[in-house]
Chain A
Amino acid sequence: DQQVKQNSPSLSVQEGRISILNCDYTNSMFDYFLWYKKYPAEGPTFLISISSIKDKNEDGRFTVFLNKSAKHLSLHIVPSQPGDSAVYFCALQTGANNLFFGTGTRLTVIP
């Protein structure tokens, strides 16, 4: 039973444009929603998070939006840069510790 879904396995965006990565979930019990970025041969690195009581959190070029009624999470990157090319995972936290990861979206930013 896949609780967290990233339906787009890949996304290509022109440098300078906006990248929008999406994540859908089925369980309403998640407390925090996180995005991780992964480069080849490296572990995932934390990018940004949002609490379930908020609907938006911004950090520089990265903004995360949460729509609880639709059980939908998105990450906006603007402007996109070639160094943003990586696999992005959403990760949903229930309780204090456990994270459930999505399947990932590979973002390619074209110079």
Chain B
Amino acid sequence: GAGVSQTPSNKVTEKGKYVELRCDPISGHTALYWYRQSLGQGPEFLIYFQGTGAADDSGLPNDRFFAVRPEGSVSTLKIQRTERGDSAVYLCASSPPDGYSGANVLTFGAGSRLTVL
């Protein structure tokens, strides 16, 4: 597709349940990022993939959060034992291979809004 695609667009779940959020980046983009945006806040970095490997997962809040990108394209963010505080919009972004050093311009998807009741 032409842009970054995220599914589902909305997810309502109960506290304690398991959730998966999917991101399909722009074709050819090797870098993939997950951000979380809580109400009234800016996007907060969670994890960054370069190809299949997680190059930086320092933003994951705890071990209930995990992300994979097994074939270097689609990524899945997995949240175990969801809590009400996990409610937020989860944004995925991708960027092309590093051909030069410069501003890292990310293309974002529309996000997956997660509500934990």
Binding site for B on A (CB under 8 A): 4, 6, 9, 32, 34, 36, 41-46, 49, 51, 89, 91, 93, 96-104
A45 touches B103 (CB 8 A): no
CA distance A42 to B107 in the complex (A): 11
Interface 1/0 per residue, B27-55 and A, CB below 8 Å: 00001000100001111110010000001
Q: Which of B13-21, B61-69, B75-83, B108-116 contacts A (4 or more CB under 8 A)?
A: B108-116
Which of B35, B41, B43, B110: most chain A Cβ within 10 A? B43
A97 touches B42 (CB 8 A): no
Residues of A within 8 A of B48 (CB): 97-98
Identify B103's interface contact among A34, A41, A101, CB under 8 A: A34
> Is B93 positioned at the interface, with any CB of A under 8 Å from its CB?
yes
> Is B1 positioned at the interface, with any CB of A under 8 Å from its CB?
no
The size bracket of the interface on B is 20 to 34
Which chain B residue lies CB-closest to A101? B42
B contacts with A: majority SS: loop
A contacts with B: majority SS: strand
Identify A96's interface contact among B42, B43, B93, B104, CB under 8 A: B104
B105 touches A41 (CB 8 A): no
CA distance A97 to B103 in the complex (A): 9
Residues of B within 8 A of A102 (CB): 42
Which chain B residue lies CB-closest to A44? B108
A45 touches B108 (CB 8 A): yes
Which of B4, B45, B103: most chain A Cβ within 10 A? B103
Known A46-B106, A96-B104, A98-B48; judge A103-B41 contact (CB<8 A): yes
CA distance A44 to B106 in the complex (A): 9
Known A89-B43, A98-B56, A101-B42; judge A43-B109 contact (CB<8 A): yes
CA distance A93 to B48 in the complex (A): 14
Residues of A within 8 A of B55 (CB): 97
